[in-house]
Chains A and B, each alone.
Chain A
Amino acid sequence: MAETGRLTAPARARRWVQAHPVTTLRIVIIVAVLLVWEGLARSGWLYRDVVPSWVAIGRALVVTLSDATFYWHLYTTFYEIGWAMVIGGVSGLAVGILLGGSKLMQRAYEPLLYYLGPCPKIIFFPVMIMWFGVGPGSKIAMGAISCFFPVALNVAGGMREIDKVLIRVGRSFRANTWQMVTKVYMPAMRHPIINGVRLGLGVCLIGTLLAETKLSNAGVGFLVIQSYTLFNMPHMYSLLIVLFVIAIGANALIGKLGGLDQIRRS
């Protein structure tokens, strides 16, 4: 211990780098991007403000975060994403179980889902506006449609992959249908379900925010497109940073759910 105390600062840094190669590489790439960005901002090669300096973005971020109306817009976006996940997730789960549980249903409907799944959902947006209006309703619909497909397809696939012997174990102990679903099928499908929700959340964020930027009167997506229209680039970038943080946070949250199988049940 006394040995370490006498090490010089560069020697200690070198030791830390050797001990944490992954973290070091991550820091290197982030610092490099920030430096290139700042270099571009100061070079004058591009229009002023297209690549604003980090100082300007930082200042804009402070202004954004201290503005009460921003939180109202943030709340609107969360509200839309939340309902979109609930509606899209639950209907995806139900349809997935139906497709996974019946050969006939699978053959009849799964190809449809496979072809509709990758198709850009934004083309439904005009329809959704006519059905649910310009407000949060049409955004929820867009998010829900986006989220539905990955959840349904993952659950259907997961249901078919369940180890058949586990089903026989459940039956041999005379579990009823409800017990089979809650104590065998659902836990056995936990990985595909969580995976579907993770993918679903990603496309749900895309669907909802894309819809907000297209036509809306509230939400973070609306603020982004508004600051773009007003050519307030620092403000726009500060909003993008907020969105990044939300997306990362949401993924981390779902990743945590992935560890659920290690937690004791019942």
Chain B
Amino acid sequence: MSAVAMPSERDAVPGAAEPILVVDRIVKRFDTPDGTLTAVDDVSLSIKPGEFFGVIGPSGCGKSTLFNVIGGLLDGYDGAVRVGGETVRGPHPAIGMIFQEESTFPWRSVIDNVAFPLEIAGMPKAERYARAGHFVSLVGLNGFERRFPAELSGGMRQRVSMARTLAAEPKIMLMDEPFASLDEQTRLLLGDKVLQIQQELKQTTLLITHNITEAVQLSDRIMVMTYRPGKVKRIVDIDLPRPRTSEIVSSEAFGRYVAQIWNDLREEATRGLLDDESRKLRAGGPS
């Protein structure tokens, strides 16, 4: 029942480098009308520089809570988040976030969206447009600089968000189900884009998802979370060759990883589903 026994040394990661991101025994509780809900329970992670780390779990397992805690948008938790050994509370310049929801500024053109973090940082106009232009072409949106988000497709808008976060040049990228609202083909192709950019920029990435294919396609390691409270169920090493493309999804090894993770996940997802149904039953019961 153990994870595929493979050496966990990554060739991409030079030696036993100091972890760049450490999540140390995070506990986050919310007060709800039904009592206290523990969304994240004693989660610890240690991510090496350049690593692509996937977090997977059923909906309601506290993945997004973890994302917001690491990104510094949520406070009032126990434990610590350390970036390069330094404990951080609140948004940190080394961390860039890509959100699940539609998050482009509709009143800004593509180039102005991407230049936003540079504008916030007070970079001179000419310099920030040059830099923003570079990241617009990195995500393959050349020629769309002057367009507004409303004129683009969902996949293109998500690439704008990606370019905007990349433009701030964070050492660590946090992504919360960035492709959740996209169709399967776009999702696979955007996954390729993410891999290509990640390999080019050697960025450390933490991807939160509920999509097993996506997690295995992209990650070096995957953490499977339990349903309520969200704990670490298992951490699986994905020993697939790099550089990867979406073609890997048809390989035999890929299928084995997917099956193995689904095996872990099914139990949690079932628990989540039953819990959800019984809650609905209680809420909508005869009065």
Contact = CB atoms under 8 A, between A and B. Distances in A.
Interface string B47-81: 00000000000000000000000011100000000
B91 A188 contact: no
Contacts of A265: 107-108, 112
* Size bracket, chain B contacts: 20 to 34
Interface stretch (B116-124, B186-194, B229-237): B116-124
B101 interface: yes
Interface stretch (A40-48, A71-79, A171-179, A248-256): A171-179
B217 interface: no
Interface in B135-173: 146, 148, 164, 168
Given A173-B91, A175-B120, A187 B99 contact: no
* Size bracket, chain A contacts: 20 to 34
Interface in A122-180: 163, 165-166, 168-175, 179
Interface in B66-120: 71-73, 91, 93, 95-97, 99, 101-103, 105-109, 112, 116-117, 119-120
A179 B120 contact: yes
A170 B164 CA distance: 11
A169 B103 contact: yes
A166 B107 contact: no
Nearest to A261: B107
Contacts of B73: 168, 171-172
Contacts of B71: 172
Majority DSSP secondary structure for residues of A touching B:
helix
A171 B91 contact: yes
Majority DSSP secondary structure for residues of B touching A:
loop
Interface string A187-198: 110100000000
Contact of B97 (A166, A172, A184): A172
Interface string A31-71: 00000000000000000000000000000000000000000
A183 B112 contact: no
A172 B108 contact: no
Interface in A223-240: none
B102 A188 contact: no
A103 interface: no
26 contacts: A163-B102, A168-B97, A168-B99, A169-B97, A169-B99, A169-B103, A169-B105, A170-B120, A171-B73, A172-B91, A173-B91, A173-B116, A173-B117, A173-B168, A175-B120, A179-B120, A183-B116, A184-B105, A187-B107, A187-B108, A188-B107, A190-B107, A262-B148, A264-B109, A265-B107, A265-B112
Given A172-B71, A173-B120, 20 more contacts: A163-B101, A165-B101, A165-B102, A166-B103, A169-B99, A169-B105, A172-B91, A172-B96, A173-B91, A173-B116, A183-B120, A187-B107, A187-B108, A188-B105, A190-B107, A264-B109, A264-B146, A265-B107, A266-B112, A266-B119
Interface of B: 71-73, 91, 93, 95-97, 99, 101-103, 105-109, 112, 116-117, 119-121, 146, 148, 164, 168
